[in-house]
């Protein structure tokens, strides 16, 4: 079963357009959603949540139409947006009172367990929370109504590595039973690399790829060599190249690595950079 | 939708002087002003509480202060950037928008009640109060869609300007023309208000997620 299915989704704004974006997330897996600022990641997330309507195409969540079944779907998903927005005058108790009225499956004891685990103050107002505390509170709220899918937009941004690691552990635990899934967008690619099973890459509103992380690593690799050696690599094999005073870094398709060159595994960040910033042609 | 109403009223209460306390104070001031003028006449023996004065007070004066307090709630929400978070929770866009109208009208209810009481006591004529009620009812219908299309700050300024302009034009030029056939005009204005309510709601739903 696919928990998320986007089919030919298009969205046009005055200075931005998203074209025919399609991908699927099977149940029990984590999908990382990457792309530069303005690539359309937040727009895509908002379309999944029916906060923005697509110009054309279809989005299904739990195999239900995201527009027609919006309210029903939202009962079963936990959402953390990049602009976490709880009322500034509310404290953790008020937020619990609001959430228990909003969600049918709200579990107060789960919520308070997270509040204790994250050491969040009960009486302090939300506006007095630090960035890390706000994110932790959002995570507690997103996880306390037994959601089947988490949709997370820049959830680890602005957090220190220790807190980020703590949060990633919670997400790993969340998907461990194979019945829960996560769709996570982040600029911190190293975080995504740790927890993702699938990677979807959006660039200027276009889908570059959506595939399993392992397939991605099987598809691309890096060659680091002297600048003059680059000539020996067939142009058709080069996906992206970056030359500096220290030599050249070349992203190539693994199957096309020429004889005599040592290849190294490429990480997601390198693949993303070389397919966009250092891209030389069509070989995506 | 009930949880949204709970949220709005809880926040209104929590804002203290910026919310509920000031709101109650304004209602009391309005009541005191209205009642204290009752029976007061000028040197020519004319009542200071004629219909024009009443209508002018209603449209251009104390009510705007009260309404501005209601609008503060909308501005706080915008400042807190809560809209997307709330809409990502189990509520449809239609219900989210509808709740805004219900919340606004609930807080305007004391103004309507005071109007009716004033009328019942003979402080204002039934005609004056009818026009006043329609005028007050129009404010959320204009404010809410404008706040979605622009933002709450600009919508507030537009509403203040519109209210003062309409109030002035109404009392200076229109009131005397229509008062002889007041009932017809009241029915006509009510019908227009109902149509406007429908259009206002539709526009709010359309523009709620456009920005």
Shared domain check, A120 and A40: yes
Q: Is the pLDDT of residue A24 over 90?
A: yes
Supply the range of the domain harboring residue A232. Answer: 216-276
A100 token code pair: 């228990």
Shared domain check, A234 and A115: no
Of A282, A272, A152, the closest CA to residue A203 belongs to A272
Q: Which residue has the higher pLDDT, A91 or B40?
A: A91
Shared domain check, A134 and A62: yes
Size of interface A-B (CB pairs under 8 A): 79
* pLDDT per residue as tens digits for the range B38-96: 666 666 766 655 544 554 455 445 566 667 777 777 888 878 788 888 999 999 888 99
Mean pLDDT on A54-71: 90
Spell out the alpha helix ranges (H) of chain A: 41-48, 70-74, 92-102, 108-117, 131-143, 161-175, 189-195, 213-219, 268-276
Residues of chain B with confidence (pLDDT) below 50:
51-52, 55-56, 59-60
In chain A, what percentage of residues exceed pLDDT 70?
A: 97
Write out the H or E segment, with its range, that includes residue A33.
strand A30-34
CA A99 to chain centre: 25
Domain for residue A282, yes or no?
A: no
pLDDT score for B123 = 67
Shared domain check, A229 and A106: no
Domain for residue A283, yes or no?
A: no
The shortest CB-CB distance from A86 to any of B10, B82, B93 is to B82
Cβ neighbours of A104 in B, within 8 Å? 90
Of A45, A52, A38, the closest CA to residue A6 belongs to A45
pLDDT band at A284 (very low <50, low <70, confident <90, very high): very low
Cβ neighbours of B86 in A, within 8 Å? 85
Domain for residue A281, yes or no?
A: no
Shared domain check, A192 and A225: no
B14 to chain A: nearest residue by CA?
Answer: A89
Three-class DSSP category at B88: coil
Count other Cβ atoms within 10 Å, centred on residue B199: 11
pLDDT score for B55 = 44
The shortest CB-CB distance from A51 to any of B6, B82, B84 is to B84
Residue contact B92–A71, C-beta within 8 A: yes
Shared domain check, A270 and A163: no
Q: Is the ipTM beyond the 0.85 threshold?
A: no
Q: Is the pLDDT of residue A54 over 80?
A: yes
Shared domain check, A234 and A122: no
Could you give the CA distance from residue B111 to residue B117 in angstroms, rounded to a whole number? 10
A150 to chain B: nearest residue by CA?
Answer: B88
State chain A's mean pLDDT as an integer: 87
| Contact (CB, 8 A) for A220 and A227 | no
> Does A75 lie at the interface with B, CB-CB under 8 angstroms?
yes
Cβ neighbours of B15 in A, within 8 Å? 89
B31 token code pair: 């009541």
> Does A94 lie at the interface with B, CB-CB under 8 angstroms?
yes
- Beta-carbon contacts of A254 under 8 Å, excluding residues fewer than 6 positions away, are A218, A219, A220, A221, A263
Spell out the alpha helix ranges (H) of B81-125: 83-87, 93-120
Shared domain check, A125 and A252: no
Domains identified in chain A, total number? 2
Among A187, A211, A235, the domain boundary falls at A211
A224 token code pair: 């680091």
Buried b (16+ CB within 10 A) or exposed e, B151-172: ebeebbeebeeebeebbeebbe
Residue contact A87–B80, C-beta within 8 A: yes
pLDDT score for B3 = 92
Count other Cβ atoms within 10 Å, centred on residue A17: 14
> Does A53 lie at the interface with B, CB-CB under 8 angstroms?
yes
B95 to chain A: nearest residue by CA?
Answer: A71
Residue contact A97–B10, C-beta within 8 A: yes
Residue contact B91–A97, C-beta within 8 A: no
Shared domain check, A66 and A189: yes
The shortest CB-CB distance from B10 to any of A71, A81, A94 is to A94
Domain for residue A229, yes or no?
A: yes
> Does A84 lie at the interface with B, CB-CB under 8 angstroms?
yes
Residue contact B90–A75, C-beta within 8 A: yes
Domain ranges across chain B: 2-208
pLDDT band at A107 (very low <50, low <70, confident <90, very high): very high
Q: What is the CATH number of the domain that holds A86?
A: 3.40.50.300
Of A222, A253, A217, the closest CA to residue A235 belongs to A253
Of B62, B73, B54, B99, the closest CA to residue B14 belongs to B73
Residue contact A74–B6, C-beta within 8 A: no
* pLDDT per residue as tens digits for the range A211-248: 998 988 888 888 888 877 777 787 777 888 887 778 88
* pLDDT per residue as tens digits for the range A146-203: 999 999 998 888 788 888 888 899 999 999 998 999 999 988 888 888 899 999 999 8
Shared domain check, A223 and A207: no
> Does A50 lie at the interface with B, CB-CB under 8 angstroms?
yes
Shared domain check, A244 and A167: no
Write out the H or E segment, with its range, that includes residue A150.
strand A149-153
pLDDT score for A196 = 92
pLDDT score for B110 = 78
């Amino acid at each position: 079963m696919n928990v998320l299915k986007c089919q030919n989704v298009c969205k046009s704004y005055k200075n931005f357009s998203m074209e025919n974006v399609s991908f699927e997330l099977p149940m029990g897996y984590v999908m990382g959603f990457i792309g530069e600022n303005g690539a359309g990641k937040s727009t895509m997330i908002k379309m999944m949540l029916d906060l923005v309507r697509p110009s054309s195409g279809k989005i299904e969540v739990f195999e239900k139409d995201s527009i027609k079944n919006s309210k029903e779907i939202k009962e079963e998903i936990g959402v953390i947006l990049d602009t976490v927005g709880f009322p500034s005058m509310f404290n953790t108790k008020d937020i619990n009172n609001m959430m228990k009225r909003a969600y049918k499956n709200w579990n107060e004891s789960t919520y308070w367990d997270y509040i204790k685990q994250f050491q969040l103050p009960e009486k302090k107002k939300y506006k007095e929370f630090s960035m890390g505390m706000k994110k932790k509170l959002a995570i507690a709220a997103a996880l306390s109504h037994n959601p089947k899918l988490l949709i997370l937009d820049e959830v680890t941004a602005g957090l220190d590595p220790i807190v980020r690691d703590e949060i990633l552990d919670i997400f790993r635990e969340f998907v461990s039973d194979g019945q829960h899934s996560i769709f996570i967008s982040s600029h911190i690619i190293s975080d995504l690399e740790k927890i993702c099973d699938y990677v979807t890459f959006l660039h200027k509103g276009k889908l570059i790829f959506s595939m399993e992380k392992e397939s991605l690593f099987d598809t691309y690799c890096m060659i680091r060599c002297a600048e003059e050696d680059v000539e020996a690599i067939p142009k058709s094999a080069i996906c992206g190249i970056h030359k500096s005073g220290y030599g050249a870094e070349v992203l190539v398709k693994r199957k096309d690595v020429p004889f005599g060159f040592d290849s190294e595994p490429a990480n997601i960040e390198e693949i993303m950079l070389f397919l966009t910033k250092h891209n030389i042609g069509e070989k995506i | 939708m009930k949880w949204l109403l709970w949220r709005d009223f809880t926040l209104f209460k929590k804002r203290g002087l910026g919310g509920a306390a000031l709101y109650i104070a304004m209602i009391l001031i309005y009541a005191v002003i209205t009642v204290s003028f009752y029976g007061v006449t000028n040197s020519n023996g004319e009542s200071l509480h004629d219909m024009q004065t009443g209508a002018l007070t209603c449209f251009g004066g104390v009510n705007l202060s009260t309404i501005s307090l209601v609008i503060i709630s909308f501005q706080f929400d915008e400042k807190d950037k809560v809209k997307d978070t709330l809409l990502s929770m189990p509520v449809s866009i239609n219900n989210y928008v509808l709740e805004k109208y219900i919340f606004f009208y609930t807080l305007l209810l004391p103004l309507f009640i005071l109007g009716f009481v004033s009328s019942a006591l003979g402080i204002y004529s039934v005609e004056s109060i009818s026009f006043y009620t329609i005028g007050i009812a129009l404010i959320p219908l204009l404010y809410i869609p404008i706040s979605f299309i622009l933002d709450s700050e600009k919508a507030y300024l537009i509403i203040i300007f519109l209210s003062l302009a309409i109030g002035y034009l109404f009392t200076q030029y229109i009131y005397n023309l229509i008062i002889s056939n007041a009932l017809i005009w009241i029915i006509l204005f009510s019908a227009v208000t109902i149509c406007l309510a429908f259009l206002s709601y539709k526009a709010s739903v359309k523009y709620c997620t456009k920005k």
